[in-house]
Each structure stands twice: as structure tokens, then as C-alpha cells.
């Protein structure tokens, strides 16, 4: 369906922009703070995504914004999940080669799903555990060879 194709295209664009950002972060001169780099990256993303978000405004239920848990979720996603993750990724890229750092990227869905299972009680099947084990073994093999 068109929605699936659009979703696939968005995922491909996300992967490409993440790779581009990772390459560009390696080129940032040593004297710049990773907080500054993270702030600039988030600002650029906000500028690019704002026109898309504005199109969604008719669907937003603004009355929901009065609820504190909504703001808690927004702050968590904005500060912890986005700014914190970008900062630590950028700092890691500064310290190790991009190829080595990229290996750890494969652990992201495993950690996210595991935390969902552990903290939120989400159900995961045997295929998660088997696939997760294969990914962890693959990462370990790559790290062992470096």
C-alpha cells in the first residue's frame, strides 16, 4: 500500500541521515562541545520537521496538552530519548572509529525491546530472544576481531 511504501521511504531516509550525521560528527573539530553539536543537530532536525508537524496540527487534540503526563512524555522523549541519546552517540563517535561505533547501533532494537519487556511488561516471543542472541553474537565477533 502507499502508506507502507511511504513508511519504508521514511525509514531509508532516517538511516541515510543518521549515517550522514555520524560522518559529519567525526569531522567536528576537537574543541567543540558535544552539547553544542547535539544542540545544532536537534535545531536542524526541528527546522526540517516543523513543516511536516504543522500539517498534523488539525489532528492534534490540544486539550490533551493540559495533562501533566502528556508533558512528562514530551519532555522524556525530547530530553532523555533524543538529546541524551544524541549526546552519548556523538561522544562515543568522538572516542572511537565510526565503523566500531556503528557495530553498537545493531544493539539498539534489542535494548529497546528488552527494556520494554523488563519495565513495561511487554510480551516478546522466542524469536526476539533467538534473534537478539544472534545479533549479540555477531557484535561480539566483530568486536573480537578489532
Residues 140 and 91 in one domain: no
**Each residue's pLDDT tens digit, 8-55:** 888 888 888 888 888 888 788 788 888 888 888 889 889 988 998 898
The total domain count for the chain is 2
Residue 137 pLDDT > 90, yes or no? yes
Q: Is residue 101 part of a domain?
A: no
Query: What does the H/E/C string look like for the chain?
Result: CHHHHHHHHHHHHHHHHHHHHHHHHHCCCCCCCHHHHHHHHHHHHHHHHHHHHHHHHHHCCHHHHHCHHHHHHHHHHHHHHHHHHHHHHHHHHHHCCHHHHHHHHCCHHHHHHHHHHHHHCCCCCHHHHHHHHHHHHHHHHHHHHC
Query: Is 12 in the same domain as 45?
Result: yes
Q: What is the band of 7 on the pLDDT scale with cuts at 50, 70, 90?
A: confident
* Residue 108: per-residue pLDDT: 84
pLDDT mean over 135-145? 89
Greater pLDDT, 90 or 135: 135
Q: Has residue 136 been placed in a domain? A: yes
For residues 7 and 73, state if they share a domain: yes
Q: Residues 83, 43: one domain? A: yes
Over the stretch 64-122, which tens digit does the pLDDT of each residue have?
Answer: 888 999 899 888 888 888 888 888 888 888 888 877 888 888 888 898 899 889 988 89
* Domain span holding position 117: 106-146
Assess whether 56 and 112 both reside in one domain. Answer: no
| 139 is a domain residue | yes
Same domain, 91 and 110: no
Per-residue pLDDT for 130 more than 90?
Answer: yes
The answer to whether position 27 is within a domain reads yes
Amino acid at each position: 500500500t502507499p502508506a507502507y511504501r511511504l513508511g519504508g521511504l521514511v525509514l531509508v531516509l532516517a538511516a541515510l541521515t543518521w549515517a550522514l550525521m555520524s560522518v559529519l560528527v567525526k569531522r567536528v573539530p576537537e574543541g567543540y562541545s558535544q552539547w553544542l553539536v547535539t544542540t545544532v543537530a536537534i535545531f536542524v532536525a526541528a527546522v526540517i520537521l516543523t513543516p511536516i508537524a504543522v500539517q498534523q496540527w488539525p489532528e492534534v487534540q490540544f486539550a490533551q496538552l493540559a495533562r501533566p503526563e502528556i508533558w512528562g512524555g514530551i519532555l522524556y522523549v525530547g530530553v532523555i530519548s533524543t538529546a541524551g541519546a544524541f549526546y552519548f552517540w556523538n561522544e562515543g563517535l568522538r572516542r572511537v572509529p565510526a565503523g566500531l561505533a556503528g557495530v553498537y547501533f545493531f544493539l539498539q532494537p534489542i535494548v529497546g525491546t528488552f527494556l520494554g519487556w523488563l519495565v513495561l511488561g511487554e510480551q516478546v516471543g522466542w524469536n526476539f530472544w533467538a534473534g537478539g542472541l544472534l545479533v549479540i553474537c555477531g557484535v561480539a565477533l566483530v568486536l573480537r576481531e578489532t
